[in-house]
Amino acid sequence: MKPVRKVAFLTAGGLAPCLSSAIGALIEAYTRHAPEVVLLGYRDGYRGLLLGDRREVTPAVRQNARALLSFGGSVLGNSRVKLANREDCEKRGLVRPGQDPRQVAADQLARDGVDVLHTIGGDDTNTAAADLAAFLRQNGYELTVVGLPKTVDNDVFPIRQTLGAWTAAEQGARFFAHVVAEHSANPRMLIVHEVMGRNCGWLTAATAATYRRTLDDMTFFPDLGFTRRQREVHAVYVPEMAFDLEAEARRLKAVMDEADNVNLFVAEGACVESIIREMESRGERVPRDAFGHPRLDKVNVGQWFGQQFAALLKAEKTLVQKSGYFSRSAPPNRQDLALIRRCARKAVEAALAGQSGVVGEDEARGGRLRVIEFERVRGGKPFDIDTPWFTEMLAAIGQPKGAKRSVVHQEE
């Protein structure tokens, strides 16, 4: 195995509360264990790789890398570029007509003399990196690729906990703790809290559970009509769980009559297929991104839920609020930061040993932190609605647990 002389980083996909901190943790680990290795970062993910837009990690950056642990967003910048989507890469001007983006990326890595590429992203980011490494090997260039699993959805097989997901739930709960006070702005208020989660309801469920714990520390004043019931989570809707709209409307109407408001937590992917079918039946075109995903900001799941329930509950006012950008751009909390640093140390160990894969707690290996083989890494891990803490929460808020439903997964 040839010695590692140059290492590159990139972050890709949507933001999560782990990107800058993962870069900082990797720089710290290399500085400690292999200070002679040259480090560089490609700007804006695969876009920067295709364009050769890179920055070297200078001694000053190495010295202050710890500060990156407390930053949200990505110090390198992100983009949603799929190397396999030649047409989109051409349209963006990232490759010339007829060029294979993988070849362009491979040539750039070869010119830069990169021995190890660290990709920090979801399953698509890391499998794209694996495909790129295989392409390079076929063309006589060896590259070790070690990924770190980023996604607030926590939906990557076989990884128990993806980086940033705990923080996103905590920040989403913090967001709603402010928004919920709007129940006092108008009688019969319906508040819909839309949470990120295209195919997986883990973040919505975890955000609701985290928020409900904050209610345990609040003092309420029932003599003034200020009760926990008003601030409670009244329903949680996730892609993996079916529900009866009319039955739920009857249940929530009783809540509205008693508490004078209703608070819903809704995953952005809940009922999305039905909503898209409705839109297309009206002749509306649903825009899609480079990965083929429906643009959920155009689908507006939260708005759909608000419209469905507002009339049925006789709500006087409906407020739809999305916590996604607030929660995903936060710096990591202590729990996430500890996991990020553990994963970064393991990633550097693997890189120096020439071992490719994605670092994570492998559910099929007893949750052991290891370098997971690329071929075993894929998205679409559903949230288990039979998880005890979730079923206990539903029972506590009086919501029936609906039947499980399958969710068609789309990549990152």
DSSP lists the bridge partners of residue 265 as 193, 236
Does 354 have pLDDT greater than 80?
Answer: yes
Nearest Cα to 136, choosing from 166, 109, 97, 106? 106
pTM: 0.92
The whole-angstrom distance between residue 111's C-alpha and the CA centroid of its chain comes to: 32
Measured distance CA(99)–CA(61) in Å, rounded: 35
Rg (CA), the chain: 23
Poorest-pLDDT segment among 46-50, 238-242, 293-297, 366-370: 293-297
What would the pLDDT profile of 232-266 be if each residue is shown by its tens digit?
A: 999 999 999 999 989 999 999 999 999 999 999 99
What would the pLDDT profile of 21-80 be if each residue is shown by its tens digit?
A: 999 999 999 999 999 999 999 999 999 999 999 999 999 999 999 999 999 999 999 998
From the candidates 44, 123, 124, 153, which is the catalytic residue? 153
Does 412 have pLDDT greater than 60?
Answer: no
Token pair for 134:
């295989």
Measured distance CA(45)–CA(153) in Å, rounded: 20
What would the pLDDT profile of 124-137 be if each residue is shown by its tens digit?
A: 887 788 888 888 88
Nearest Cα to 108, choosing from 155, 189, 186, 53? 53
Active site residue 153: yes
Query: What is the per-residue pLDDT for 324?
Result: 96
- More confident site: 379 or 337: 337
Nearest Cα to 1, choosing from 347, 355, 348, 346? 355
Inter-residue contact 261 to 248 (CB < 8 Å)? no
- More confident site: 271 or 252: 252
Token pair for 201:
């309801």
